[in-house]
Structure 1
Amino acid sequence: MSPPSATPGTADALLDALRGAVGARHVLTDHDLVAPYLVESRRLFAGSALAVVRPGSTAEVARIVRLCAQAGIPFVALGGNTGLTGGGIPQGGVVIALERLNRVRAVDPVGATLTVEAGAILAEVQEAAEAAGMLFPLTYASRDSARIGGGIATNAGGLNVLAYGNARDLVLGLEVVLADGRVWNGLKALRKDNAGYDLKHLFIGSEGTLGIVTAAVLRLFPKPRSTGVAFLGLASARAALDLFVFLRDRADRDLTAFEYLPPFALEIVLRHAAGTVRPLTGEHGAYALIEFSSCRPGIEARHELEAVLAEALARSLIEDAALGAGPAQDSALWRLREAVPEAQTREGGSIKHDVSVPLGLLPEFLERAGAACVAAMPGLRPCGFGHFGDGNIHFNLSQPVGMDREAFLAHWERFNRIVHDIVTELGGSIAAEHGVGLIKRAELARYGDPVALDLMRTLKASLDPLNLLNPGKVVPPAPDDAA
């Protein structure tokens, strides 16, 4: 079902009503002011919009939604616009920008919760938790501009999933504006609540297609007393898996990060990321960045890490290791991992796959997918890196040296078939942590379970019968509607 488009008379009347609802200065229609809201961070998609509206409260969001619904005009909520799949790109209609909805409503150190509005920047949420002596562990590279509502809407993962889980695991309650403008107040700070369906899980990861998250109750954790970071040289991806299992058995919850890098990833970071230096002498078949954290008094994470790595070295699980001596060196080691996406951009065109497979099959996936892609295009440079410990790999493909960027990117669908066929054969997911958005909607139709897809369409039709909430994203059309 395609969303309706606005006739000139309807559009003018809606704009007047929106100005009355939130104030004229918060209804943007000037091209230069609207343009930044229409392009996602990778610039793969560009959208269009009647207007950008910036509400300052949940009540104003509800008012905007009711006006759009009455006019039959589609709308999309937008946070920090740091998405990677085009999920926030408007296709006409109204953009509801949540940047003014940014208050921390409450912090409860005893209950270990923080209640915050959807437009709050992730780094500011982390700072509010830290001011209360607690930790909010969700974190990723765009934390200084990403907003917490977008992280919830996409069920964001990031660097701490291994120890703390995805956004879904960090949310206790939600406040959501529904497609008809009603507000569901589910802001309960409860660990246990079995009073019917757990509705918040419908909206977490739905990418704004079922409702607009306006506030959330988030779980907080004890702040680590100490951390330790090491960069390791390994023989192969299979050695990385053996090491991960060993570290998990030895350290349990103190192992808070295990990030994998192939040699190519380290090579381009050292080439393009200012200030980075080679942490190890010699070359290795694979690399891992690991972090230990300790909340226990008397247990120094750095000492624990050093002891465990000494045992791993004695067992020939690692070939070499560089252990950070303090916060500055720890940050420098983390920089080697966090700079990979930007370094890959500087290498030219990059075809990206955010996938997951069962942990024990990760080495097989990396070997098979890498070999298949190089066979399809000699000179291609696979760059599979990321959150090894939770089975999520960013399997990116850098263009052959000297090839035209646009000519390379024209092969995106061809490499989707190669990579996603292998992922599916191994029982994995074609969308691990970045979501479906626009870029993977057709892929979901191809690889998704038919019953699951029918259930998704049923939910969408029930909660958004007019198809006004971020239409054209996530949920593939039914086969008979595809035309």
Structure 2
Amino acid sequence: MTCLDRLKAELPHALRDVEDRYLEEPRGRWRGKALAVVAPSSTDEVAQVLQIAGEKRTPVIPYSGGTGLVSGQIKEHGAPPILLSMERMSAVRAMDAQAGTMVVEAGAILQNVHSVAEADGWIFPLTLASQGSARIGGLLATNAGGVNVIRYGNARDLVLGVEAVLADGTVINGLSPLRKNNMGYDLRHLLIGSEGTLGVITAATLRLFPMPSTTGAALMAVPSAQAALELLRMAQSQIGEGISAFELIGRAGFDFLAEVGPEVRVPLSEVPDWCCLIDLGLAQGAPEEALEALFAEAFEAGLVTDGAIAQSEQQRLDFWNIRESIPEANRRIGSVSSHDIAVPVAQVPAFIAEASGRLQKINTFRINCFGHLGDGNLHYNVFPQQGKTRADHQGEAAAVKACVHDLVHEMGGSVSAEHGIGRLKVGDLERYGDPGKLTAMRAIKQALDPLNILNPGAVLRSE
């Protein structure tokens, strides 16, 4: 029997039509293929799929919300894979409101996890633009970041345990909520961030945090990226751990929104060259007062030139709508090359200045730089001038990418801050990654997936 025949015979209820939504990535740059789409309803069924795939030497790609931007969920070349969709495994298995933990299956949508936690007075702080469709399994597989990393850390910091299935069908029952557990290797951290190449995460024990008593936000215009960095330090000194997010937004983001939409209202007297979106969550005290005090001191020091402080939750959400609308404006214009990079926080202003100068030696571009200043993660995207399109610069895209990534590497940064490696950045990992680490990664892959059936070609190049 073929692999497909086995699946039809043993898991007919789990088979799904191979719809376009499984084969396309969000930016429309790649289109994958699939032998079959299988949506198991239990960990045992996941194990059964992997056992069949192993016997038939058929590749398997775990499929979560499909929101990844580095082609980790799309396989264009080689043997058609089984797409292992986690959409039917979406349950909240347990909620411990005393301990602040939640056990959820890999197919749980992030927004739903937020709602369940908040109903009991807790938050799960992983927050990002795609939270209405992104699923927990994919977020853990890529060690997702989001806007709250400055306070709560990446996905890896928010998980106490995982349940997963290895390539041969072995189930790892690691959902313990213990915060101290030194019984051998920590496979949880090995699987988180492995992008489905070492095992399939089927459930996780999430770490929750008390819901802040009050929240608030402000947009503050700053004269430079260096001033934004100094404002961050001042905010940390004044407010401390109450800072949930600290975003840097360049003028191009506002210009793009005005040019192609989505339409937003900018609550400042004029569009600034740079501004910071600061979000607070306090256990006590008024966020508005904390932000007003910060603005007053920063204005006196010449670090801010204008500002708006949210006077309601709706205004706070409106501020965030500006930030979350920028990626859509980027998509509508079409970039020459997009970069999800991180540099040491203190190096952010120097990187921005140097990168612009180096790119001008290639051509004249528009640069939309924005991102999470608090952890040094920038979305540094290069666009054609008005009147031109991405196609006009097709021959320069590789040089633009190399220019940006070379500088990131020189500054001790990472060319993949929060989106993962997928298939798009395999060459970058080989070029910029530490040789010793790559040797270890290949050895681990060989040990856990000797037949190379788990997401082959993602993260590590298939031989």
> Is TM (by shorter chain) over 0.5?
yes
Distance 2:235 2:389 in 1: 43
Distance 1:302 1:191 in 2: 35
> In the alignment, which of 321, 331, 339 is matched to residue 353 of structure 1?
339
Counterparts in 2 of 1:269-288, with a 5 A limit? 269-288=257-276
Pair 1:57 & 2:57 matched: no
Deviation at 1:409, TM superposition (A): 4.0
Per-residue Cα deviation, 1:161-197 (whole angstroms, up to 9, x for no partner): 1110000000000000000001000001011111111
Per-residue Cα deviation, 1:106-138 (whole angstroms, up to 9, x for no partner): 000111100000001000011110111110000
Deviation at 1:16, TM superposition (A): 2.5
Distance 1:246 1:146 in 2: 34
Contact 1:349 1:406 (C-alpha < 8 Å) held by counterparts: no
Distance 1:148 1:424 in 2: 30
Distance 1:442 1:286 in 2: 33
Q: 1:411 aligns to what SS in structure 2?
A: helix
Q: Which residue of 1 aligns with 2:8?
A: 19
Contact 1:265 1:340 (C-alpha < 8 Å) held by counterparts: yes
Q: Which residue of 2 aligns with 1:151?
A: 139
Q: Which residue of 2 aligns with 1:450?
A: 435
Distance 1:447 1:476 in 2: 14
Distance 1:303 1:440 in 2: 44
Q: Give TM-score scaled by structure 2 length.
A: 0.97
Q: Which residue of 1 aligns with 2:25?
A: 40
Q: 1:339 aligns to what SS in structure 2?
A: helix
Q: Which residue of 2 aligns with 1:111?
A: 99
Distance 1:112 1:300 in 2: 25
Pair 1:174 & 2:162 matched: yes
Contact 2:220 2:276 (C-alpha < 8 Å) held by counterparts: yes
Distance 1:20 1:300 in 2: 61
Counterparts in 2 of 1:15-414, with a 5 A limit? 15-24=4-13, 26-28=14-16, 30=17, 33-90=18-75, 91=77, 92-296=80-284, 299-378=285-364, 380-414=365-399
Distance 2:250 2:56 in 1: 52
Per-residue Cα deviation, 1:357-398 (whole angstroms, up to 9, x for no partner): 0010000101111221133112x1011111011000001111
**Root mean square deviation, CA, Å:** 1.4
Q: Which residue of 1 aligns with 2:450?
A: 465
Deviation at 1:93, TM superposition (A): 1.8
Distance 1:157 1:211 in 2: 21
Deviation at 1:351, TM superposition (A): 1.5
Distance 2:389 2:73 in 1: 29
Distance 1:174 1:109 in 2: 19
Deviation at 1:69, TM superposition (A): 0.6
Per-residue Cα deviation, 1:397-434 (whole angstroms, up to 9, x for no partner): 11222223334244322112100110010000010000
Contact 1:444 1:476 (C-alpha < 8 Å) held by counterparts: no
Distance 1:267 1:355 in 2: 22
The one-letter code of the counterpart of 1:40 is E
Q: 1:284 aligns to what SS in structure 2?
A: coil
Contact 1:34 1:51 (C-alpha < 8 Å) held by counterparts: no
Q: Which residue of 2 aligns with 1:4?
A: none
Identity of aligned residues (%): 43
> In the alignment, which of 427, 451, 456 is matched to residue 412 of structure 2?
427
Distance 1:143 1:35 in 2: 21
More displaced, 166-175 or 391-400? 391-400
Name stretches of at least 5 consecutive residues in structure 1 with no aligned partner.
Answer: 1-9
- Compared CA separation, residues 55 and 409, structure 1 to 2 (3 A): farther
Distance 1:23 1:427 in 2: 50
Distance 1:319 1:155 in 2: 36
The one-letter code of the counterpart of 1:352 is S
Name stretches of at least 5 consecutive residues in structure 2 with no aligned partner.
Answer: none
Deviation at 1:248, TM superposition (A): 1.0
Structure 1 residue runs of 4 or more that deviate by more than 3 Å after TM superposition? 270-275
How many residues are matched?
A: 460
Deviation at 1:272, TM superposition (A): 3.5
Distance 1:410 1:21 in 2: 49
- Compared CA separation, residues 126 and 350, structure 1 to 2 (3 A): farther
The one-letter code of the counterpart of 1:228 is G
Q: Give TM-score scaled by structure 1 length.
A: 0.93
Deviation at 1:35, TM superposition (A): 2.5
Distance 2:186 2:164 in 1: 13
Distance 1:121 1:228 in 2: 26
Deviation at 1:350, TM superposition (A): 4.3
Q: 1:168 aligns to what SS in structure 2?
A: helix
Deviation at 1:475, TM superposition (A): 1.5
Contact 2:335 2:381 (C-alpha < 8 Å) held by counterparts: no
More displaced, 85-94 or 188-197? 85-94
